[in-house]
Homo-oligomer: A and B are copies of this chain.
Amino acid sequence: MQDVALAAGVSASTVANVLSRPDIVAADTRRRVEDAMRAVGYVPSGVARRLRNRSSRVVGSIILDVSNPFYAELNRGIEDRLAETGGLLIACSTDVREDRERQLLQVLEQQAVRGIIVAPTSPRIEALLEVSRRGTPVVLVDHPRPSRDLCAVTVDHELGGRLVGEHLLSLGHTVIAFLTGVGQPDSVLRRRAGLRSALAAAGLDPDRSLLDLQVPVVYRDVMGTAVRSVEQTLRADPRPTALVCVNDTAAVAVMKAGSLVGLRIPAELSVVGYDDLQFTAWLTPALTTVRQPKRELGLTAADLLLDEARQGHRHRQVRLEPELVVRGSTTAPA
């Protein structure tokens, strides 16, 4: 900055003024300074600026895994909203490790980011509350127990489950399997509750008509896991005519497993996913699933975060609605 000032024959503060309040600088002085900047190859120090100003344009997000399509789209929503006002996103993955979440939280707080958007690995949010209390806004995404002291966006997973239940009931299914891994997060439990409530509302006994299939997922052998799941479904008595999967990836694996064991889908078994990843529309049969408003989740989270800077901000809890997408993988039972 000093160099620029020298080259332009003005003081450093005039250079500063050209940067932050160009209107108060005389037009030709401004031009001289701008030329000098270019000549010198001057790059303003965002770091020094922030030390002075307190304000940062960078927001952090801490989510499970940036390479998971669901979170990738979520992040994309955040990024798009931030970009509208020149903001940037630091996207970090935890791999569901609580220690990593804590570490990332700490680093981001020290970076003095504008705020942090977190899809928490655990329901315990004390650490998040502390960060928020110290002055770095925190927004929760898809967390089970929204706190009055934090903004939050969630998806109504119970509705998601209910929509699936109602759809299958309307097709005539009365025995349904619900395929999950072991030790599922709250969102899955809610979905299950929604599914059961739909069955109950139709006069069925959820304990008899909903079969819980908890399968330990072997990551090196997803296909093997899927085949076992399908076999287990077919062996059950009474045999389920529909299989509701914990997410689209699982559903795709299950459909493949079905074709491996010679099962016709949907004729012999209807399959339902969750998330609505893009390619599921292009499978054969195309997947019936529940669309999560992934991008909207990110947009809303960013909105809430940006609003924290406003005078008189009040924490809000927003709930978004998922949407049933009926395609070819479900049909009436044989």
Show the binding face of A for B, using Cβ within 8 Å: 41, 43-48, 50-51, 57-58, 65-69, 72-73, 75-76, 79, 83, 86, 88-93, 100, 104, 107-112, 130, 134, 222-223, 249, 252-253, 255-256, 259, 278-279, 281-284, 286
Contact = CB atoms under 8 A, between A and B. Distances in A.
A69 B83 CA distance: 21
Nearest to A108: B88
22 contacts: A43-B109, A43-B110, A45-B110, A47-B50, A51-B51, A65-B76, A66-B66, A66-B76, A66-B79, A67-B73, A69-B69, A69-B72, A72-B72, A76-B93, A83-B100, A88-B108, A89-B90, A89-B91, A252-B279, A253-B282, A256-B284, A284-B284
A66 B57 contact: no
A33 to B, nearest CB: 17
- Which of A222, A281, A282: most chain B CB closer than 10 A? A282
A292 to B, nearest CB: 14
A76 B95 CA distance: 11
Contact of A67 (B43, B48, B76, B107): B76
A83 B278 CA distance: 30
Contact of A75 (B66, B109, B286): B66
Given A66-B91, A75-B66, A284-B256, A58 B110 contact: no
A62 to B, nearest CB: 11
Contacts of A104: 88
Contact of A51 (B48, B111, B130, B259): B48
B91 A58 contact: no
A66 B94 CA distance: 17
Nearest to A277: B279
Given A66-B76, A79-B93, A249-B279, 8 more contacts: A46-B110, A47-B112, A67-B75, A75-B91, A76-B93, A223-B281, A255-B284, A256-B282
Contacts of A45: 51, 110, 112
Given A66-B91, A75-B67, A79-B93, A46 B112 contact: yes
B89 A107 contact: no
A110 B44 contact: yes
A111 B256 contact: no
A65 B50 CA distance: 28
Contacts of A88: 90, 92, 104, 107-108, 111
B93 A91 contact: no
A86 B107 contact: yes
Contacts of A222: 282
A51 B41 contact: no
Given A47-B51, A249-B279, A66 B58 contact: no
Nearest to A73: B67
Contacts of A100: 83
A230 to B, nearest CB: 13
- Which of A58, A73, A284: most chain B CB closer than 10 A? A284
Contacts of A44: 110
A279 to B, nearest CB: 5
A163 to B, nearest CB: 24
